Structure 1
């Protein structure tokens, strides 16, 4: 009896929701008698579900949580000033870069109109003191790298080469005269720099296998050899070239200016990743560099390694940004894309994928945050930076893959952004030391045995 009364009450509430003025038109499309017969066969739980659906339709739109990849609110550990810088970079990337990035990525071209706009941020050479540089923390440098990569990994790479590898080589290894000449102009992007270490036949083995040579003569230094995958090289004003001195066998650094005779740059074409980054194949044939353009304090590969250690943490942050951009785009998509009558974000399997992505992303963010703290405290070791590079680039691969997966076929379209992150993650996985090489650096530190050949 109680169940019968419950059904009657539910039916009355249901009838009250019907607009009888529209009932006539509805009867032309729907067999109302069969509909009511169907209602009579529903149990209490089914009727409650139906009522819930009817009450929610046409009502106030459900407010969804903010899309935020910083799930553990790590930004709360920043000062107000640093948080403002983070948000300034985010706003710049979303306003200036996001609308045009797919256009340039698809065409394998660089948006030169953005260069002066990057200069206006006044954040290049963020950790350096003097020469017009901000003198901020390594933590801030990492957060800037993440925010740029969150929208586009190519622009983060461009910024990282300019601010980190190129300026860093001069800042750490250059003479005072070299710093005064180059750093203020590079800080304002009036001069663009590149970093030439990797060679066509020498990648992971650069420490002991550089084939590019330098020979001291009465006119200065004569460079011969090739460099490959050199970001910014096709349009750089100065390229840092690392070469082996034929006399003492040590690696030395040189400032090679644009249009130097014997210095030729060919743009590398046909890339599937970081397509906005303009990579060059550099060929040097009896390229003469004056002694004044030899980096005064770059006298062995240990000096080169100091620059690489400083920047490797930034690459880990870049991986975090790439992963965060993919995750946030995927989450947004799943909340808008509807299948079977509701957003796919409401399905268990999709939520499981999203939570796995967020778990990895949160672990990555926590790791690089601590990594930069160690760097700011002067405690950073090679193995610290290498472990972060290994873990973050590996987990980024997983996150971008799942981001594409939850988007189905649309995941391979540039319009939805994730396809670009999927491709770019492959480059991040390999550059600044492959996963395998960085693993061996960590392995040597924890076991006491070197597994390098």
Structure 2
């Protein structure tokens, strides 16, 4: 039964089969699974044939952007109509998982809006600002990106953030002047606004601003020469005397603690991405060893091959268990830095082993884009580092365990 049949007849088959060994998918409602099946049809038919070509060229397939937006995945009609159950955290997690099992850049591109930027508005904007902006965020009529990392500050951004904001009073409520630079900002070139975090020179606290991408003093440069997430367009952003009205400041961001509240909510998305990458690599490797023959028989029939497949499945199953439980806790309003940090740390660590095993199973062909394995193997390295490196997330967990901070002062 193909996915199209699954949609037409009601979702009867499991979507995730072999890679979801303990059937975490069963936590989804039929409507949620139907939306995810619709996404899979699009990804398999429209996206997958383009991925190797655009990955090698280092370009994002822009022709996929509008159709992907039009799938209405953020708050789909099936989950928001009369009598429907609203889109739940478990659906949102599997939405990221489905994108990532196809391609990490697609997942990163979509979560830049649905995860990072939406969280910036949900957590950082005032009630009045949210009522004005959130509907536009959901339908992508206001596209934005999360601009925190700087050229010289990543892991030490909490204390090291050096982009500055200076307030100037005026009859219209005041204007802020921003100076500095941001780096590794994915999707900036096609965004309408940049959610820029800067340090107020008056009180030394971090504030956040929605900056028009085309404002005077904003300069974007594409980062070239990447060996991971090649389709995702990352930018180096320079801010030179950029003027932003007070009305475009996110009024609920008044210190880095408010930024940290966003990060602990967003890390769960990255853990889902790391888990989805493992699923994609596993499925590609499983398909390969079933078709490839050596010594007169399928690779899948060899003991060492089966041992590697079993280890990969164990990693995926453990990762799914982590992200599902984390998502369930967050759905109850239970957010802790150490919980999202642990999930991001561990799923990324397991992801590294899983994609390496997938590459081993495909042998020499595992370094070509033809098998899909090479793409997952390379892209995993970027996911391993962003939204907090392994070490930073480990120290967040360690601080919670011991009550002692081991961060460099």
Q: Which residue of 1 aligns with 2:65?
A: 115
Match of 2:280 among 300, 317, 325: 325
Equivalent residues in 2 for 1:195-210, closer than 5 Å: 195-210=146-161
**2:106 is equivalent to residue 152 of structure 1:** no
* Distance in structure 2 (CA, Å) of the matches to 1:135 and 1:176: 21
Work out whether residues 338 and 397 of structure 2, in 8 Å CA contact, stay in contact via their aligned partners in 1. Answer: yes
Gaps of 5+ in 1: 1-65
Q: Cα–Cα, structure 1 residues 246 and 141, in superposed 2: closer, same or farther, change >3 Å?
A: same
Match of 2:123 among 168, 172, 182: 172
* Distance in structure 1 (CA, Å) of the matches to 2:198 and 2:91: 32
Work out whether residues 116 and 189 of structure 1, in 8 Å CA contact, stay in contact via their aligned partners in 2. Answer: no
Q: Which residue of 2 aligns with 1:94?
A: 44
Equivalent residues in 2 for 1:180-195, closer than 5 Å: 180-195=131-146
Work out whether residues 189 and 220 of structure 2, in 8 Å CA contact, stay in contact via their aligned partners in 1. Answer: yes
SS at 1:157 equivalent? helix
Q: Which residue of 2 aligns with 1:105?
A: 55
Work out whether residues 35 and 73 of structure 2, in 8 Å CA contact, stay in contact via their aligned partners in 1. Answer: no
Match of 2:350 among 382, 395, 403: 395
Equivalent residues in 2 for 1:114-133, closer than 5 Å: 114-124=64-74
How many pairs were matched up? 383
Q: Cα–Cα, structure 1 residues 379 and 181, in superposed 2: closer, same or farther, change >3 Å?
A: closer
* Distance in structure 1 (CA, Å) of the matches to 2:191 and 2:364: 39
TM value normalised by structure 1: 0.82
**2:220 is equivalent to residue 265 of structure 1:** yes
Match of 2:289 among 334, 337, 358: 334
If you compute each CA radius of gyration, which structure gives the higher value, 1 or 2?
1
Q: CA deviation at 1:103?
A: 1.4
Describe the superposition over 1:7-47 as per-residue Cα deviations: whole angstroms up to 9, x where unpaired. Answer: xxxxxxxxxxxxxxxxxxxxxxxxxxxxxxxxxxxxxxxxx
Work out whether residues 27 and 90 of structure 2, in 8 Å CA contact, stay in contact via their aligned partners in 1. Answer: no
* Distance in structure 2 (CA, Å) of the matches to 1:367 and 1:164: 19
Q: CA deviation at 1:350?
A: 0.5
Q: Which residue of 1 aligns with 2:236?
A: 281
Higher relative contact order by CA 8 Å / sep ≥ 6: 1 or 2?
2
Match of 1:75 among 25, 28, 48: 25
Q: CA deviation at 1:441?
A: 0.3
* Distance in structure 2 (CA, Å) of the matches to 1:279 and 1:236: 12
Q: Which residue of 1 aligns with 2:254?
A: 299
**2:240 is equivalent to residue 240 of structure 1:** no
SS at 1:110 equivalent? coil
Q: Which residue of 2 aligns with 1:231?
A: 186
Q: CA deviation at 1:77?
A: 2.2
* Distance in structure 2 (CA, Å) of the matches to 1:285 and 1:444: 38
Q: Which residue of 1 aligns with 2:210?
A: 255
Describe the superposition over 1:288-320 as per-residue Cα deviations: whole angstroms up to 9, x where unpaired. Answer: 101111111111111111111111001000000
TM value normalised by structure 2: 0.90
Describe the superposition over 1:272-300 as per-residue Cα deviations: whole angstroms up to 9, x where unpaired. Answer: 01111111101011111011111111111
* Distance in structure 2 (CA, Å) of the matches to 1:152 and 1:189: 21
Work out whether residues 67 and 332 of structure 1, in 8 Å CA contact, stay in contact via their aligned partners in 2. Answer: no
Describe the superposition over 1:114-145 as per-residue Cα deviations: whole angstroms up to 9, x where unpaired. Answer: 1221122212368xx99xxx952222111110
* Distance in structure 2 (CA, Å) of the matches to 1:439 and 1:139: 25
Q: CA deviation at 1:88?
A: 2.2
Q: Which residue of 2 aligns with 1:43?
A: none
SS at 1:99 equivalent? helix
SS at 1:68 equivalent? helix
* Distance in structure 2 (CA, Å) of the matches to 1:176 and 1:113: 35
Question: What do you get for the CA RMSD once the two structures are aligned?
Answer: 1.7
Q: Which residue of 1 aligns with 2:404?
A: 449
* Distance in structure 1 (CA, Å) of the matches to 2:336 and 2:189: 33
Q: Cα–Cα, structure 1 residues 125 and 251, in superposed 2: closer, same or farther, change >3 Å?
A: farther
* Distance in structure 2 (CA, Å) of the matches to 1:100 and 1:195: 27
Q: CA deviation at 1:177?
A: 4.4
* Distance in structure 2 (CA, Å) of the matches to 1:82 and 1:284: 42
